[in-house]
Structure formats: structure tokens, C-alpha cells
């Protein structure tokens, strides 16, 4: 069995997030002062986590956020970030740069509701899901290939440190703790991946995990959390298990979804 951890973080707040203006892919706004503070807070929260791979959407708001997170990390400060256009936000076509209320009005006029409504020039939910599926399958193939080559990710450091660094900060609970115990017979993590992306995209990706891959959820995650978009710099952690390489679908365990405890000390900058 091959296991790896996937930590997914939404970008920090932009001024347009606050004003409820749709950015999508066409409006490439930077993060605000508040967003910079959120990224730093997420970085401090994750500062002891040893990541082996780092991916980010190639839009400005995610680039700035991943940089803010890595600045605070003890182990990954100088790691190379791979920017991937498959991690971009959903494309909203003619609705980009318009208020969210306008998108809702467009949907209503078409006899539909958000988020199922696709504005002219925008991506359908299925298209966003296929981008997420494509990225996830690429990631799984990459990790399995590297694990097959038995590459040593952290020279001089046993890989169980990947587990320990996650177990120190995430709400793993008693049932989960046993899986992080090397005596339990569960193999150690071969990789710990950080992905920084966008709200609607992450919601689509998580829905794919739940619906198609039958991801198991902790009891603490409510249905409303599943339906909601992650707050800015919300953090979600999944453990991906492969029993027999890529032939079988992976089993996915959600440890936490849209965690935002790290934001309690962040004050808004007006």
C-alpha cells in the first residue's frame, strides 16, 4: 500500500473577495493586506509540516499566498513551487469583474440557480470537475512513480517525520491516531503535498473526492461545511491510500475540511 498526504489551502483574501466581485480567471487581483496576514497565519500554522511537493494555481492571488506560507516554513522555504493552470479558479466568462449579485440575477433570468448556472464564456461545473480530476490523477501517478523508484525525499530524515509533523497540528482524533502509529502496520507516508488553489475549484475537487471516490469524512464535518466554499486560507487535509498502484481507485480519508483556526488572531485591514 502507498499512502500520501494532500493539504489543500485556499488563497488569501483579495479586495474583490471582500466586495463580492467575481474574479474567476480573467481578473488577476493581488491579495489584500488582510490576505497577506492570512497567508502568514496559515504559514505559521503549517510551519513544522514537511512538504515534499508544492503546487499552486498560476494566478497572482495563489502565487502570493503560497509564497507567504513557505516564508514561515522551517523546512520548505527554498522549495520550488510548481505552478499549474489546472488549479485555476472556475472561469466565469462575462460575469468576471461583476458583482456576485449580478451573476445570481443572470442565473435567475435563465431559470437556473448558482452554482449550476454557467455564464456565457464560462466553464460548466463538469468542466471544472474534469480539470480537478485530471490534476489529481496526474498527482497520484507522480507520487506512485516516485515511490516505485524509492526516492529518498528527505535525506537523513526518516519519512515517518512526514506523519509526525501533520499529527502535531491536525485534529486526527483517537481513531485516526492509530493510523499514524508505526506499530499499527500501516505504511508510512511516501509524500506530503501542498496545493494552493481557489474556492469554487476546491469545492468542485472535494465534491469529486466525495461523490466519485467515496472519500470518508470525520464526524466533525457537517453537511453545511461540505456545501460551503472554504474561507480564505481555509485548510483541508486528505490521506490518499493506494492498495495496488493505479489499477484500483484510491481510498481517500478526509482529516479536516476548511479548517480556519489559524485566522482567529488575524484582524481585518480596512
pTM higher than 0.85, yes or no? yes
Paired residues of 82 in beta bridges: 55
The strand pairing partners of 55, in sequence order, are: 82, 195
Three-state helix/strand/coil letters over 253-265? EEEEEEECHHHCC
State the Cα–Cα distance between residues 262 and 38, nearest whole angstrom. 8
16 annotated binding-site participant: yes
Choosing from 53, 89, 123, 260, which is the catalytic residue? 89
Cβ count near 152 (within 10 Å): 9
13 labelled as ligand-binding? Answer: yes
Residue 98 labeled ligand binder: no
Q: Is 14 annotated as a binding residue?
A: yes
The 10s digit of each residue's pLDDT in 87-100 is: 999 999 999 999 99
46-61 average pLDDT score: 97
**Would you say 104 is a known binding-site residue?**
no
Sorted by where each begins, the domain ranges of the chain are 2-92+124-263
Is 96 an annotated catalytic residue?
A: no
Distance CA 133, CA 127 (A): 10
pLDDT at 163: 86
- Annotation-wise, does 87 bind a ligand? no
53 is catalytic: no
207-263 pLDDT tens trace: 999 999 999 998 888 777 888 999 999 999 999 999 876 677 899 999 999 999 999
Instruction: Specify the pLDDT at position 205.
Output: 97
pLDDT band at 173 (very low <50, low <70, confident <90, very high): low
Task: Give CATH superfamily name and number for 2-92+124-263.
Answer: Phosphoglycerate mutase-like (3.40.50.1240)
Amino acid at each position: 500500500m502507498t499512502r500520501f498526504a494532500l493539504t489543500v489551502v485556499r488563497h488569501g483574501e483579495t479586495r474583490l473577495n471582500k466586495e463580492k466581485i467575481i474574479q474567476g480567471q480573467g481578473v488577476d487581483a493581488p491579495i489584500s493586506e488582510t490576505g497577506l496576514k492570512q497567508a502568514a497565519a496559515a504559514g505559521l500554522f503549517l510551519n513544522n509540516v514537511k512538504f515534499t511537493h508544492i503546487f499552486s494555481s498560476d494566478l497572482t492571488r495563489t502565487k502570493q499566498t503560497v509564497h507567504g506560507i513557505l516564508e514561515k516554513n522551517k523546512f520548505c522555504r527554498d522549495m520550488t513551487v510548481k505552478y499549474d493552470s489546472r488549479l485555476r479558479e472556475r472561469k466565469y466568462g462575462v460575469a468576471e469583474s461583476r458583482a456576485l449579485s449580478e451573476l445570481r440575477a443572470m442565473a435567475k433570468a435563465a431559470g437556473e440557480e448558482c452554482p449550476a448556472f454557467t455564464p456565457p464564456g464560462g466553464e460548466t461545473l463538469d468542466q471544472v470537475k474534469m480539470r480537478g480530476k485530471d490534476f489529481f490523477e496526474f498527482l497520484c501517478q507522480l507520487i506512485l512513480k516516485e515511490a516505485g523508484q524509492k526516492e529518498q525525499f528527505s535525506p537523513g530524515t526518516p519519512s515517518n517525520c512526514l506523519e509526525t509533523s501533520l499529527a502535531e497540528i491536525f485534529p486526527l482524533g483517537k481513531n485516526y491516531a492509530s493510523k499514524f502509529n508505526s506499530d499499527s502496520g500501516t505504511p508510512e507516508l511516501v509524500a506530503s503535498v501542498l496545493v494552493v488553489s481557489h474556492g469554487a475549484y476546491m469545492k468542485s475537487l472535494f465534491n469529486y473526492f466525495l461523490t466519485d471516490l467515496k472519500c470518508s469524512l470525520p464526524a466533525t464535518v457537517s453537511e453545511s461545511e461540505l456545501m460551503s466554499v472554504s474561507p480564505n486560507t481555509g485548510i483541508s487535509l486528505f490521506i490518499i491510500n493506494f492498495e495496488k498502484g493505479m489499477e484500483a481507485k484510491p481510498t481517500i480519508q478526509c482529516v479536516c475540511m476548511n479548517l480556519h483556526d489559524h485566522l482567529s488572531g488575524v484582524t481585518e485591514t480596512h
